[in-house]
Chains A and B, each alone.
Chain A
Amino acid sequence: MSDSLKKTASAIRRRVIELSHEAGTPHLGSSLSCIDIITAMYWHVLKIDPKNPEDPLRDRFILSKGHAALALYVALCDRGFFPPEILATYNKDGGALPEHPGPKCVPGVEAATGSLGHGLSLGIGMALAGRIKGESYRVFALLSDGECNEGSVWEAAMMAPAQKLDNLAVVIDYNKWQATARSNETLNLAPLRAKWEAFGWNAVEINGHDFVEILTALSQVPHPSGKPLAIIANTVKGRGVSFMEDDNNWHYRIPTAEEVQKAALELQTV
């Protein structure tokens, strides 16, 4: 299981890096840090059917850190939600795939994100709708650590436990960087797990690149405690490419053709 997920994640990383180069778009480091989580979601956790993307009973996944759109687009395409010809139009004039995901821009995208601090609240709305309508789907929102700067995240963090939303999970892609600085030096983020616990969540801390740990954590939704689940996933920005890992220049840098090749070589051996 882990090996096949690793291979899938590596293929996604390669395509993401290629597209970043071809389209000239940034946020590579942020995309690479959450690809293992996204892979675990789409290849193992989510009850979804690419042939029936609007199934009312499907699990919902919200990429709240919308600047990692490229990772989501490639995953959805590889999973069969839309054809590769559409992926090739990423960020092209007149194309369907902007740098941040638009509403229903392709099948499988649950929410338009890019403005930070919206996804968890949307997820609460979706989870409550499921409860009201008697539908037993689950809702997952993936946030970045920098995104936790937004006050609305903490408004949502207070509401979900008050509503006892055990069908909701938040995953924090804790890569320790935000756009221009270390996240813990920008605002006082740490201790992240204790914060979510104090807000009333069932919080766990994992290695966000270890598929066994990711899958074990995500298997706890709905959680028997009746609380929503917060997964603090420790990750490395730029994960998978030696010269990008933990180097925040890759928040904005766009790889050259040579760098694309070099990265592809490293990722092939996975």
Chain B
Amino acid sequence: MRNAFASEITDLAQADPRVVLLSGDIGNRLFDKFRDRCPGRFFNCGVAEANMISVAAGMAMNGLRPIVYTITPFVTTRCLEQIRVDICYHDVPVTVVGVGAGLSYASLGPTHHSCEDIAFLRALPNMAVVCPGDAVEVRLAMKAAVERGSGTYVRLGKKGEAVVHQGVPSFQIGKAITLRHGRDVCILSTGNMLPEAAATADLLGRQGRAAELVSFHTVKPLDTEYLTRVFRDFSLVVTMEEHSRLGGFGSAVAEWLSDQPLQRASLLRFGTEDEFLHESGEQEHARHHFGLTAAQMAENIAARLYRKPALAA
């Protein structure tokens, strides 16, 4: 996702002189092309994220379209106050981009994990929260974010994740993308869980369970039209995210659901627990700890489906 991000914003900045990039002293060499092609529009703001967010807001108040980039916890929760007041209260078009979302940087320890950012940012008025599922969606999300006239948070994984989209889908902030049709269970995945969600659907398929696979890349604004349909058409709807089940995507769906008249489907939410991960290990290990691998989720879903009465034909 990271390289797709750097490449896409270089294209965007070449086409649009309003686009500027602010980095919190990360991305060594990643932005060489950007700096080369758009001189005077790259700012290494140092390890001073609060200032960086406000500087970006001041630029946006004066006609620019800044993109602010650093590691997820440092560009979200560390400077939440500046995002809230300077971007959201002023309602200016700054794109906040976090790299290493969720457990992407698991081995760096909980200071570098980010399993609370969606909760904090989606609570802010005027802020959109977009979690692209793969490199294809990263490009589309960046283009849409820069065009949007308000603050947008784009949550990236790391580099080298599997690409799930085979073509280039139609993309709109706030509109979920159906990747596979199925009838037994509907899997709504947000962000970097998409390859794991696809693998879960594959495993269920081998057991004769046809899963609908959806990239629910936007957590806010929530695609309620889509939710209305799937909670009507399915008996089980599943959310997947590399984020706490407190306040994240699954919470957003649950909040919406609790305000609806009786729905046919029940909801199963996968996400991280309300805890810091104290043991070391890579992302795969961390996912396993929280029950977020395809095998664990497929087993869990199958158990739920087994308990549910079969659908009427």
- Same complex for A and B? Answer yes
Tell me the A residues contacting B by CB distance below 8 Å.
Answer: 56, 102-103, 110-112, 115, 117-118, 121-133, 151-152, 155-156, 158-159, 162-163
**A125 contact from B50, B59, B85, B91, Cβ within 8 A:** B59
**Chain B residues, CB < 8 A from A163:** 43
Contact B90 A129 (CB under 8 A): no
Contact B45 A151 (CB under 8 A): no
In the complex, the chain B residue whose C-beta lies closest to that of A162 is B46
Q: A121-B82, A124-B58 are in contact. List 10 more A-B contacts (CB 8 A).
A: A103-B90, A112-B85, A115-B81, A122-B57, A122-B86, A132-B64, A155-B48, A159-B51, A159-B55, A162-B46
Contact with A along B48-80 (1 / 0, CB 8 A): 101101111111111110100000000000000
- Counting chain A CB atoms within 10 Å of each CB, which of B56, B60, B61, B82 scores highest? B61
**B43 contact from A110, A118, A126, A128, Cβ within 8 A:** A128
Given the known interface contacts A111-B90, A132-B41, the answer about A152 and B63 at a Cβ–Cβ threshold of 8 Å is: no
In the complex, the chain A residue whose C-beta lies closest to that of B55 is A125
In the complex, the chain A residue whose C-beta lies closest to that of B60 is A125
What is the CB-to-nearest-CB distance from A144 to chain B, in angstroms, rounded to a whole number? 17
Contact B46 A152 (CB under 8 A): no
Within the assembled complex, what's the spacing in Å between the Cα atoms of A117 and B54? 10
Given the known interface contacts A132-B64, A155-B51, the answer about A126 and B58 at a Cβ–Cβ threshold of 8 Å is: yes
Is the contact region of chain A dominated by helix, strand, or loop, or is it mixed?
helix
**Chain A residues, CB < 8 A from B56:** 125
Given the known interface contacts A122-B58, A124-B58, A125-B57, the answer about A133 and B51 at a Cβ–Cβ threshold of 8 Å is: no
Contact B64 A129 (CB under 8 A): yes
- Counting chain B CB atoms within 10 Å of each CB, which of A115, A129, A158 scores highest? A129
**Chain B residues, CB < 8 A from A151:** 50
Contact B85 A159 (CB under 8 A): no
Contact A121 B91 (CB under 8 A): no
Within the assembled complex, what's the spacing in Å between the Cα atoms of A131 and B63? 12
Contact B58 A158 (CB under 8 A): no
**Chain A residues, CB < 8 A from B61:** 110-111, 122, 125-126, 129
Number of A-B contacts (CB under 8 A): 96
- Counting chain A CB atoms within 10 Å of each CB, which of B41, B56, B86 scores highest? B86
Contact A158 B41 (CB under 8 A): no
Contact A125 B54 (CB under 8 A): yes
Is B40 in contact with chain A by the CB < 8 A criterion? Answer: yes
- Counting chain B CB atoms within 10 Å of each CB, which of A117, A121, A158 scores highest? A121
What is the CB-to-nearest-CB distance from A194 to chain B, in angstroms, rounded to a whole number? 21
For chain B residues 112-170, which have a beta carbon within 8 Å of chain A?
none
Contact A130 B62 (CB under 8 A): yes
Given the known interface contacts A103-B90, A115-B85, A155-B48, the answer about A129 and B58 at a Cβ–Cβ threshold of 8 Å is: yes
Is B89 in contact with chain A by the CB < 8 A criterion? Answer: yes
Given the known interface contacts A129-B63, A159-B46, the answer about A118 and B82 at a Cβ–Cβ threshold of 8 Å is: yes
Contact B59 A56 (CB under 8 A): no
Contact A132 B91 (CB under 8 A): no
Contact A152 B85 (CB under 8 A): no
**Chain A residues, CB < 8 A from B214:** none
Within the assembled complex, what's the spacing in Å between the Cα atoms of A158 and B59? 18
Within the assembled complex, what's the spacing in Å between the Cα atoms of A127 and B61? 11
**Chain B residues, CB < 8 A from A124:** 51, 54-55, 58
